Amino acid sequence: MPRIEVASVDAPFPERLRGGFGYPLRGSGLATCVALALIHYVGLLPSYIGALASIFVWAATWRYAATCLLHTANGYADPPDVGVESSDTSAWGLVAIHLLVVAFCVIAIVFYPHLLVPFLILFALVLPAIDMSLAFDGNMALAINPLNWARVIGAFGSAYLIPVAINLLLGITIVIASVTTALLPQLLALPLFAFASTYLAVLAFHLMGVMIHQRHERFGLEPEAPKLAKIGGQDADEDLLAEVDALAPHDTVAATSLLVARMQNRVAPTSLHLAYRRLLQQQGFRDGLLVHGQIWMASLIAQGEAKRALGVLQECCGIDADFIPDDPRTCAELADLSARLSMRRIALHLCRGFLNAWPRDTQTPHIGMLAARLLAEDPEQKSEAARLLDTLESAWPDHPLHAEIGLQRSRLARTP
């Protein structure tokens, strides 16, 4: 089971509020916001097709935002993946409510323009109560009852103004977008407006989820994340780390043995790996740090945490300048990543290590081309880049990249 990041129910709301602004930009949240913003291009399709497609995209946006609310209310610290399971009744009820609000706003714009601003203010005030009621009650009739709105608002007090302010900001964003869309090229204005709207929707729903999470006992809720974390042994890991920290000053060997026994059983969290490396450093186990680095990098790559694996690689290179991953797939992925991050020195080190260790691997032409490109950035290393491309071209005549190798060699020859 992957590690579950659990939000602390005791964290002060101002702290959760500050962290909340980055919530839509983390992990699956950022990927989803970008994807939804780009999908809004379907609105450019002709006539009713584009309008209908836009409605479906907005439905998907509110569906994801609603899932974020439920996810946060259940104690999860990170945004959910798109396919995460949630309460269909609550989530689709939230989608229906927000589509209805959009329909009212469209009617006001077309037939009663003077009512648009009062509508926006009214919806901003009552929507958080409706949204949160649906989340913890799952009852549409109750959620749209004005008496229930008063109950919800009273339960949250002044904190209720936070999602209200964000809803007002979202409404203002929509109004501004209707103006700026005419001033900017539509191909640029559409995704910018869509991303801003999606970001604000996810932020508002996340903060409402935070408010529910911190008052879950008042609403008869039992957050799911802590229970799953306990089943996965995360509480045991925290207890083990405390035991290791207490034991380490007196007996580093025994503390190290505790961590070794734990990490042999299942995937360990970062905190345990860092504690293990600290103990190895204290004991001067240079080779142990390198062996652990290999194991941890492979685990991080498998978990999709390539950037953290790159950090482990840099630490190991500080111990042994010739260190490279012991698996060609890991080495190639980190070489590509470091090149994308403009870390030329480490990327070139990985490429050279790969070419020396696995000269006949199927990825060798790709890594060789990457190394040649990096070498060509330095005028003093262009000749080395040319020799490398010549070697690749002759050694891999049947490889799918053979033509591209020749093209890169020709471009390099034309460069002064």
Q: Band the pLDDT of 194: cuts 50, 70, 90.
A: confident
The pLDDT value recorded for residue 166 is: 75
For the chain, what is the mean pLDDT? Answer: 84
pTM (predicted TM-score): 0.57
Q: Is the pLDDT of residue 362 over 80?
A: yes
In angstroms, rounded to a whole number, what is the distance separating the alpha carbons of residues 65 and 329?
Answer: 36
Q: Band the pLDDT of 404: cuts 50, 70, 90.
A: very high
Q: Band the pLDDT of 253: cuts 50, 70, 90.
A: confident
Q: Band the pLDDT of 345: cuts 50, 70, 90.
A: very high
Q: Band the pLDDT of 132: cuts 50, 70, 90.
A: confident
Q: Band the pLDDT of 187: cuts 50, 70, 90.
A: confident
The pLDDT value recorded for residue 322 is: 94
Average pLDDT over residues 3-21: 79
Domain ranges of the chain: 13-223
Distance of CA 169 to the CA centre of its chain: 24
Residue type, 68: C
The pLDDT value recorded for residue 86 is: 53
Contact of 244 with 19, CB cutoff 8 Å: no
Q: Is the pLDDT of residue 226 over 90?
A: no
The pLDDT value recorded for residue 125 is: 84
**pLDDT tens digit sequence for 59-68:** 788 888 888 8
The pLDDT value recorded for residue 178 is: 61
Which phi and psi angles does 279 have, rounded to 5°?
A: -65, -40
Pick the closest to residue 5 from 212, 312, 246, 271 (CA basis).
Answer: 271
**pLDDT tens digit sequence for 42-76:** 888 887 888 788 878 887 888 888 888 888 888 88
Q: Is the pLDDT of residue 363 over 90?
A: yes
Distance of CA 60 to the CA centre of its chain: 18
Q: Band the pLDDT of 272: cuts 50, 70, 90.
A: confident
How many Cβ atoms are within 10 Å of 408's Cβ, its own excluded? 21
